Amino acid sequence: MYVIHEGAAPHRLDPKMMGEFRKHLILEEKSQATIEKYQRDIGHFFRFCTDGTFGKEDVIQYKQWLLSRYAVRSAASMLAALNRFLSFAGAEECRVKLPRAQQLFSDEQKELSLTEYRKLLETARARGESRLYLVLQTICATGIRVGELRSITLEAVQSGCAVVRNKGKTRVVLLPGSLCESLLRYAEEQDIHTGVVFVTRSGRPLDRSNIWTSMRRLCREAGIAEGKGFPHNLRHLFARSFYEQEKDITHLADILGHTSINTTRLYVASSGARHRAQLETLRLTESYRPEKQHNIKLCCFVI
């Protein structure tokens, strides 16, 4: 571990620290996506400290800079990565408190609705894109992460459940019977006899970039906002649909592989419009009518 603080001297940023921190994250069995995010977030801080040194005041200024340019959740995520790096590098005293914003409602402009999801399926099927058609259903019907799609093997489909290993944890994901039937027919059609079901023409498992690109294109063709074309939106749709039916957030957290229920709460947050409609159904208000109706003409000045 690098020690970058000595007495009251300022901390110095050494690019080698990034490599050492990356090795540390690998040993902690963090996913490739998580490691890359940490590197991006810490890279922002390296560029912010133009003279290559920093102290607690600089980290506070960086926090303020982030909050002036990013949403609170994004800034908090970037600062969490930085705090972890500072602890690793021996600059524990430079850690800052994470900003918090209570998220009561989801953003309808970003979330994919059930109607839009059905439209994506319809468009994919109409265009003969059977692989994409089934990828969308697999993620949305199980709630798995896009990076976990390689866990959907022919053997998993035949047994009706997939063993998913991610972020140092292992969980079993049940596959709906109707989905298994579709995937078995697809595998037979594609001459897949073992291993990962969704592969490229060269036989390699689909990666997130393949799916992101395909989803955005499909959104454009379906007349849906391209900003909604992210596989993670399918995971959110699964979470909202499951919670609406079961109302069991603890069970949902286990299915999604969340360590904290607070993360799951963000997935099932309702929209502001939906919450307003729910308030109206409570019928806890009455119409107000003044006892005496004022004559508007009497309130006018005569000149």
- Which residue did the predictor score with more confidence, 74 or 151? 151
Binned at pLDDT 50, 70 and 90, residue 303 comes out as: very low
Same domain, 73 and 125: no
- CATH number for the domain spanning 134: value is 1.10.443.10
**Mean pLDDT computed over 221-234:** 91
Confidence of residue 30 (pLDDT cuts 50, 70, 90): confident
257-260-265 Cα angle (round to 5): 95
Q: Are residues 176 and 263 in the same domain?
A: yes
CB contact at 8 A, 141 and 118: no
For residue 185, is it within any domain?
Answer: yes
Count structural domains, the chain: 2
| Model pLDDT, residue 209 | 85
Q: Are residues 200 and 242 in the same domain?
A: yes
Average pLDDT, stretch 84-96? Answer: 92
Strands 53-54, 11-12: pairing kind: antiparallel
* Same domain membership, residue 85 and residue 158: no
Q: How far is 31 from 278, CA to CA, in rounded Å?
A: 39
Residue 284 resides in a domain: no
Q: What's the pLDDT at 214?
A: 93
Q: What is the pLDDT of residues 258-287, one digit of tens each?
A: 888 877 877 776 555 555 666 677 777 777
pLDDT at 6 exceeding the cut of 60: no
Domain match, 147 and 221 both: yes
Tens digit of each residue's pLDDT (9 = 90 or more) over 230-262: 899 999 999 999 888 888 888 888 888 888 887
Whether residues 135 and 80 fall in one domain:
no
Q: Quick one: pLDDT at residue 3?
A: 40
In a domain, 55, yes or no: yes
Same domain, 72 and 127: no
**Considering the domain boundaries, does residue 1 fall inside one?**
no
pLDDT in the model for residue 150:
93
Confidence of residue 45 (pLDDT cuts 50, 70, 90): very high
The pLDDT value recorded for residue 215 is 93
- Clarify whether residues 177 and 265 are in a common domain: yes
Identify the domain boundary among 60, 94, 128.
Answer: 94
Listed in sequence order, the residues at least 6 apart from 29 whose beta carbon sits closer than 8 Å to its beta carbon are 167, 168
Residue 41 and residue 76 in one domain: yes
Mean pLDDT score across all residues of the chain: 85
Residues 256 and 141 both lie in one domain: yes
Same-domain pairing of 131 and 218: yes
Do residue 43 and residue 192 come from a single domain? no
- Please report whether residue 299 resides in a domain: no
Domain that holds residue 67: 11-94
Read off the pLDDT of residues 119-175 as tens digits, 9 standing for 90 and up.
999 999 999 999 999 999 999 999 999 989 999 999 999 999 999 988 778 899 999
Separation between Cα atoms, residue 55 and residue 75, nearest integer Å: 19
Query: pTM value?
Result: 0.64
Distance CA 29, CA 12 (A): 28
CATH number at residue 21: 1.10.150.130
Q: Is residue 103 part of a domain?
A: no
Kindly state whether residue 4 falls inside one of the protein's structural domains: no
* 297 is a domain residue: no
First to last CA, the chain: 85
At residue 277, the pLDDT reads: 66
